[in-house]
Amino acid sequence: MQSPRRFLPSLHLLSAFEAAARTGSVTAAARELSLTQSAVSRQIKALEEQIGVELFHRERQTIRLTAGGNVYAREIRDALRMISTASLTLKANPFGGTLNLAILPTFGTRWLAPRLPAFLKAHPGITINLVTKISYFDFRLEPVDAAIHFGRAEWQGAEMSLLRSETVVPACSPELRDQYHFQSAEDVRKAPLLHLTTRPDAWERWLLQHGVDADHVRGMLFDQFATASQAAMAGLGVALLPEFLIEEELASGRLVKAIDLPMRSAESYFLVWPNERAAHPPLQVFRDWILKETEMHRT
């Protein structure tokens, strides 16, 4: 059922309200919108009358958001941002064919980005916009068509396709390896261990898999693989890193395996999309392509 028209204010009313709410000043909002102060005041008043709610406390020459106005301002700001993004996307590709894709930082820069030129050359009508997301999010609240996800095959309200599995290896600088002379998993336990906040139990699982006590495992915390790998190269400790994402560092010798004891991760990489975007043509083309690119790594 469509919303009653009275609850769909015009954009010029909403823009005036949002600018005044953000700047805390009718004068500043008028300057920003290239309007007169009285015009902005009239538009805000018209908005209040249309929705039947007071949005500002007016005190002499100042304005202050009401409690309801404060919540409304945040939601309207997000809605205006989404409309602006949609307009820019349409301008960039007036014939359609835009895919807004959320990516994991390291997977995006190390694996996806080098392959995108070939995809775009094969599909010149498609534009891909990338945004970084490192954890679950609500598709209903983000202007995103799909996401690259690492984890379990679980995402409420979404469909998923398995992309690939992952093997992690304990990696460090050559100097740290020579310092500790790693011969066993027990030796690794004695070195500084670098942890990822998104995989808080990874070292415990690796140690237990190789028969080593995993109690009280501590060390530096990082929120991304890129910083963890840089710290490992700097000699700060041993990091459990996906082997396929550090191929260049291993080949160059900037990183080495502390010991050749890999571990298959319990989680995998997936392409995820909300149910209502399943038929989006650019998504269908991208899904077919990325599944072909990763088919040999799913076992």
Are 128 and 99 in contact by the 8 Å Cβ rule? The answer is: yes
Size (the chain), residues:
299
What is the pLDDT at residue 1? 42
Is the sign of the CA dihedral 19, 53, 10, 85 positive or negative?
positive
Residue 279, burial from CB neighbour count under 10 angstroms (0-12, 13-18, 19+)? exposed
CATH number at 97-165+268-297: 3.40.190.10
CA distances from residue 19 to 8, 74, 132 in whole angstroms, order as listed: 18, 11, 28
Nearest-CA neighbor of 105 among 276, 184, 222? 222
Q: Do domains 5-92 and 166-266 have the same CATH topology?
A: no
Q: How is residue 107 annotated by DSSP?
A: I
Largest CA distance in the chain: 78
Topology classification of domain 5-92: Arc Repressor Mutant, subunit A (1.10.10)
Phi and psi at 149, nearest 5°, equal -125, 140
Give the DSSP H/E element, type plus range, for residue 7.
none
Domain boundaries, the chain: 5-92, 97-165+268-297, 166-266
Q: For residue 297, give every residue at least 6 positions away whose Cβ sits within 8 Å of its Cβ, in sequence order, or none.
A: 163, 164, 165, 244
| Interatomic CA distance for residues 292 and 286, integer angstroms | 10
| Interatomic CA distance for residues 70 and 49, integer angstroms | 17
Which segments of the chain does DSSP mark as H helices, in order? 11-23, 26-33, 37-51, 67-92, 105-106, 113-122, 174-180, 185-189, 202-209, 225-233, 247-252, 281-294
**pLDDT tens, residue order, the chain (299 aa):** 445 566 788 999 999 999 999 999 999 999 999 999 999 999 999 999 999 999 999 988 889 999 999 999 999 999 998 888 778 766 766 555 899 999 999 999 999 999 999 999 988 889 999 999 988 899 988 989 999 999 998 898 899 999 999 999 999 999 999 999 999 999 999 999 999 998 989 999 999 999 998 888 889 999 888 999 999 999 999 999 999 999 999 999 999 999 999 999 999 999 999 999 999 989 999 999 999 999 987 76
Nearest-CA neighbor of 172 among 145, 186, 193, 155? 193
pTM greater than 0.85: no
CATH homologous superfamily, domain 166-266:
Periplasmic binding protein-like II (3.40.190.10)
Backbone φ/ψ region at 290: left (φ over 0), alpha (ψ -120 to 50), beta: alpha
